[in-house]
Structure 1
Amino acid sequence: MTVRVPEGDDHDHGYRDDGELAIRPAERADLLAVVRIENESFPQPWPYEAFDRFLGDPGFLVAVTNGDVAGYVVADVSPSFGRQLGHIKDVAVHPDRREMGVGSALLSRSVAVLTAHGADSIKLEVRRSNDRAKRLYRQFGFEPIRRIPGYYGNDEDAIVMVRQLE
């Protein structure tokens, strides 16, 4: 599979879906597929309404191949102690599309969008047990900075990881 991450404006809808992976802003028509991926990926999934609230935000992106949503990311930028902090809130890839570069493509585009919207740094939380995700985040320059005990509903700890931007 060829991964294409379009350059340019993060609202650019000019992409072809010809079997290649395309990253684009999420649309209302994507929400059911996004929620299905969320439900298959997490024991405490976000509800439909949570994703609906993020529609139109530049950091809500989907990866699409052959007309199907293969994964998504939800991220934003907000002020924090006089700086602009990017936050990757949620990212998941359909189980049949994992280990194919979808997560890397989503993360790459998300970092670019957050940077374009003024983020000085980007943070995310990851389950302490999710070694695959932690490896991916490290490849993108994220470093663990602290642990949050019992962050997840099953009392699993979260690891907060941060990437400083230049």
Structure 2
Amino acid sequence: MTTTAPLPDDGRSRIRPAERADLLAIYRIEKASFPQPWPYEVFDRFLDEPGFLVAEEGDAVVGYVVADVVPNHGRAFGHVKDLAVHPERRGHGYGRRLLAHALTRLAEGDATSVKLEVREGNDAAIHLYEDFGFQTLRRVGGYYEDGTDAFVMVRGLDDWGRRDRDYGATDDAD
């Protein structure tokens, strides 16, 4: 059961594709969210990806997701590479909405499954992914530079179009 607080009902929050003007805000959220943040330049490289989305509250970027589709032995699979919400805006459903929109974009890109890596001990993220039907495939020892392990989590996308309304992926992100 989800225990996130509702999003503001003032109509001022939305999910939309990331733009170059968002990169500084995205990078600041990345630095506030992860002990080993991606370099700024990495985000610039993903700007053309349909799965690079931001959550906006008013005029402020409060979260983002980076996801793409990769060919794999004749079948496409999705990869959620990065997802973060500003620490002061967590618990309001932004992560849930970003993930739902990213999965929709991946499914639209013909991905039949999706994977992600999550840091061991990031219980909030692990629970979010489990709520979305992800299952742990394996543990990767020393995945992160500081030696922390990661869990590789996966889920199929064959049923995503029929269930995405349950996760909040039916609005925004033109």
| TM-score of the aligned structures, taking structure 1 as reference length | 0.88
- In the other structure, the counterpart of 1:97 is 89
Residue 119 (structure 1) shift: 0.4
1:75 match: 67
> Percent identity at matched positions?
58
Residue 68 and residue 2 in structure 1: after superposition, are their counterparts in 2 closer, same or farther (change >3 A)?
Answer: same
- Deviation of 1:2 after TM superposition, in Å, equals 3.6
Alignment deviations for residues 106-142 of structure 1 (CA, whole Å, 9 cap, x no partner): 0000000000011000000001111110000000010
Instruction: Give 1:152's match in structure 2, choosing from 144, 163, 166.
Output: 144
1:109 matched residue in structure 2: 101
RMSD (Å), alpha carbons: 1.4
Q: Contact between 2:55 and 2:63, CA under 8 Å: does it hold in 1?
A: yes
Q: Is the 8 A contact 2:64 2:84 kept in 1?
A: yes
Deviations 1:34-84 (A, max 9, x none): 000000001110111000011121011000011000100000001112211
- After the TM superposition, which parts of structure 1 deviate over 2 Å for at least 4 consecutive aligned residues? 1-4
- Which structure 2 residue ranges, 5 or more long, are not aligned? 1-5, 159-174
Picking from 19, 22, 35, the partner of 1:30 is: 22
Alpha-carbon distance between aligned partners in 1 of 2:13 and 2:114, rounded to the nearest angstrom: 24
SS in 2 for 1:57: coil
In structure 2, distance between residues paired with 1:40 and 1:73: 15
- Give ranges in structure 1 of 5+ residues lacking alignment: 5-17
Residue type at the aligned position of 1:136: L
* Residue number in structure 1 paired with 2:121: 129
Q: Which amino acid aligns with 1:26?
A: A
Shift of 1:101: 0.2
Relative contact order higher in (CA < 8 Å, ≥ 6 apart): 2
